[in-house]
Amino acid sequence: MTHDGAKQTPATTTIAIDGPAASGKSVVGARVAERLAYRFIDTGAMYRAMTWLALRRRVDVEHAGALAELAAEARIEVRDAAPGADEPTIVVLDGEDATPHLRDGAVDATVSLVSRVPAVRAALVRIQRELASAGNVVMAGRDIGTVVLPDAGLKVYLDASIAVRAARRAEQLRAAGLPADIVALQADLTRRDGIDSTRETSPLTAATDAVIILTDGMGIDEVVKRIVELAT
């Protein structure tokens, strides 16, 4: 299916897209926002940036109090990337651009530990709500429809099997010239799903009024078309 880039008039000003790791939230959300001429915000980038900062400053990622202090003190700026950029959301922490490090292996392995801390989530949710307050926004994450924007006009939950998600992540890694071990990726996604879905604060789950889209066998453009249709 060909992406024609046509803009359409939406019936809602806020679209929440949730789903587990490697479910395609970021790339789908960015393209939906482009189609609707909306702003796109990848909240996962914010948690990854906070994880990078914790690792950079050698904060113990198992120490909730230390992470809470870091989140409370950090100056967080969220900016829009240029069209076509690898990362659609730029995050600057204390004047340093964390964006080039969002997909670092250490960040990828640790982000679920940092994002499960209630104080970290509270600090970032406040910013996320401020970013969405002007409307005309597509926001992607793991608790957008349930916690961040519970009154969003459209809530979508993207899901796919572990095998499909691991294959997609492997393709991304290979495209970046990095090695990809499917078995290890599947194990890591299973681990992250467990952490995200059982954390005390804002566990990963579909909102009761979300449209659930199982993307096994669907191309990106097909998923984007479906969400745009739901929004218009």
Please write the tens of the pLDDT for every residue from 181-215. Answer: 999 999 999 999 999 999 989 999 999 999 999 99
Question: The whole model's pTM is what?
Answer: 0.90
Structural domain boundaries in the chain:
14-231
- What crossing angle do the helices spanning 220-231 and 25-36 adopt, rounded to 10°? 50
Question: Which residues have a Cβ under 8 Å from the Cβ of 227 and sit 6 or more positions away?
Answer: 15, 17, 28, 32, 154, 156, 213
pLDDT band of residue 9 (cuts 50, 70, 90) is: low
| 14-231, CATH topology level | Rossmann fold (3.40.50)
Q: Taking the alpha carbons of 60, 144, 216, 89 in that order, is the dihedral positive or negative?
A: negative
Residue pair 151/145 in contact by the 8 Å Cβ criterion: no
Please write the tens of the pLDDT for every residue from 35-45. Answer: 999 999 999 99
